[in-house]
């Protein structure tokens, strides 16, 4: 008899938390097909500000490389190439409030 490790499955949820098989809470948000992790959502909330990548990293207590990777992932998932495009798309999809200026 072999022990099997349960696979991680993502269940499409809208703005709800779910628990992985290891008991770690993670957030997945889906709007028009885009799924963002909790960390990506937190970074996305900071994009409308005038904070630089390094300032976002300092505020989030992670490296600039981590923020860069998360931003690239956000852009890919939202189907955009630039920060302004991500802000506009995030507002359209309901990830950001319309009053969060896109500079």
Give tens-digit pLDDT for 48-80.
Answer: 999 999 999 999 999 999 999 999 999 999 999
- Domain boundaries, given as residue ranges, for the chain: 33-93
| Nearest to 70, CA basis, from 59, 58, 56, 84 | 56
**Which stretches within the chain are classed as H helix?**
38-46, 53-60, 64-78, 83-93
Domain 33-93 is found in CATH 2.70.98.10: no
Q: What is the mean pLDDT of residues 28-49?
A: 83
Mean pLDDT (the chain, rounded)? 77
pLDDT reported for residue 84: 96
Counting residues of the chain whose pLDDT is more than 90, the rounded percentage is 57
pLDDT reported for residue 9: 40
pLDDT reported for residue 61: 97
Exposed / middle / buried, residue 67 (Cβ in 10 Å: 0-12, 13-18, 19+): buried
């Amino acid at each position: 008899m072999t022990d099997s490790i349960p696979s991680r499955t993502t269940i499409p949820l809208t703005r709800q938390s779910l628990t992985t098989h290891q008991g770690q809470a993670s957030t997945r948000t889906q709007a028009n097909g885009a799924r963002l992790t909790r960390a990506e959502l937190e970074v996305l909330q900071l994009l409308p500000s005038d904070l630089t990548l390094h300032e976002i990293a300092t505020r989030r207590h992670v490296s600039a490389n981590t923020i860069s990777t998360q931003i690239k992932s956000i852009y890919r998932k939202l189907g955009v190439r630039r920060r302004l495009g991500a802000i506009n798309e995030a507002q359209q999809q309901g990830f950001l409030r319309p009053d969060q200026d896109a500079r």
